Amino acid sequence: MSIDKATVAHIAALARIRVPEADRERLAGELRKIVAWIEQLDEIDTTGVEPMASVVEMTTPQRPDAVNDGDCRDKVLANAPAASHGFFTVPKVVE
Partner 1 sequence: MALIEGKTGNWEVVIGLEVHAQVVSRSKLFSGAATGFGAEPNSQVSPVDAAFPGMLPVINRFCVEQAVKTGIGIEGKVNPTSVFDRKNYFYADLPAGYQISQFTRPIVSGGSIALDLPEGRSRTIGVTRLHLEQDAGKSLHDQHPNLTYVDLNRAGTALMEIVSEPELRSAEEAGAYLRKLRTILRYLGTCDGNMEEGSLRCDANVSVRKPGAPLGTRCEIKNVNSIRFAMLAIDYEARRQIDLIEEGGVVKQETRLFDSARGVTRPMRSKEQAHDYRYFPDPDLLPLVLDPAEIERLRAAMPELPDRKKERFVQDYKLTPYDAGVLVSERQTADFFERVAKGRDARAAANWVTGELFGLLNKAGKGIEQSPVSADAIGALLDLIADNTVSGRTAKDVFAEMFETGKDAAAIVEAKGLRQVTDSGAIEAAVDRVIAEQPEKVAEFRAGKDKLFGYFVGQVMKATGGKANPGTLNELLKKKLSG
Please give the residue ranges that form the binding site for partner 1 (CB under 8 A).
10, 14, 16, 51, 53-54, 56, 58-73, 75-77, 82, 84-95
| Cβ-based nearer residue to partner 1, 22 or 56 | 56
State the nearest-atom distance from the C-beta of 23 to partner 1, in Å: 21
State the nearest-atom distance from the C-beta of 10 to partner 1, in Å: 8
Inter-axis angle of helices 21-39 and 5-14, nearest 10? 90
| Cβ-based nearer residue to partner 1, 2 or 22 | 2
Of 24, 20, 23, nearest in space to 7 by CA: 24
Per DSSP, what are the bridge partners of residue 84? 87
d(CA 18, CA 11): 10
Q: How many angstroms separate the first and last alpha carbons of the chain?
A: 35
State the nearest-atom distance from the C-beta of 67 to partner 1, in Å: 5
| Cβ-based nearer residue to partner 1, 1 or 72 | 72
State the nearest-atom distance from the C-beta of 72 to partner 1, in Å: 8
